[in-house]
Structures are given as structure tokens and as C-alpha cells.
Amino acid sequence: MSRLRLISGLYALALLGAAALNYVPGLTDAQGRAFGIFALDIYDDSLHLASALWAGIAALLSARAARNFLFYFGILYFSDGLLGLVTGSGYLDLGIVNYGIVDLPLGFKILANLPHLFLGGVAIVSSYLFAREAP
């Protein structure tokens, strides 16, 4: 199995884990925030499930499909994280549409958007680093 397919498969597992956060007892606080930071809703859960499905299918299909997943997923998630840092709302979960610009402390914005920045950035770098595996 190529590294691209392996990474894509790991993304599928990580995204399934993200979708399950709201449903694991003890991980959410009284306000429904996972780890006291992330207020995940049905939009977020749907996004994470759809992304996990995309990642899993790409991993099963081919190295080229996995590279395409990593590249496009990376751009989508990384730019969502950047928008979240600037405005306090992302676009993938329709937050910017539903809530507009939200005035939040910078530290909170960083913590809330770090997963999308990290996952998106690693995906983009992986798609370039292992591009030779996907002719």
C-alpha cells in the first residue's frame, strides 16, 4: 500500500473520530463543547462523516485518488481554518453564513481552528511529498 493511501486511510479514521466526539460520554461539557473548546453540531458531524467517507474511498481506490483527496481536502480544511482565525467562523460548517464575524479571543480562535489548520496543512504537504507514488 502506498503512503498516500495509508495517510488517506488514517484521515478517514481521524475524521470518523471527530464525528464521534459529541457522542462519547464525558468528552463534552455542560454547554456541549468537546474538550471545552469545540461546539460541534449536525453540520460539523455531517462534514466530518462526508470527509471520512471521501478519505476512505480514496484510500481504497488508488494512490492517485488518495493524492487528490489529500490535496483538495487540505486546501478546503486549511482555508477554513484560516477564515476561522480571521473571522471566528469557518465556511465548511456554514458558520460564516449562520453567525457571521464573531468576536472571540485570539487564543480561543487558535485552539478552535488548529485541527483544521493542522489536518489541512499536513494533507497538502503529504500530497506533494509523496506525489511520485500517484502517476
Between the alpha carbon of residue 132 and those of residues 4, 72, 91, 127, the distances in Å are 10, 17, 32, 9
Residues in the chain: 135
Q: How far apart are CA 102 and CA 67, in angstroms?
A: 34
Which pLDDT score is estimated for 111?
A: 86
Which pLDDT score is estimated for 112?
A: 85
Which pLDDT score is estimated for 125?
A: 98
Q: What is the pLDDT along the chain (135 residues), one digit of tens a residue?
A: 799 999 999 999 999 998 887 777 666 666 666 656 666 677 788 899 999 999 999 999 999 999 999 999 999 999 999 999 999 888 888 888 888 998 888 988 898 899 999 999 999 999 999 999 987
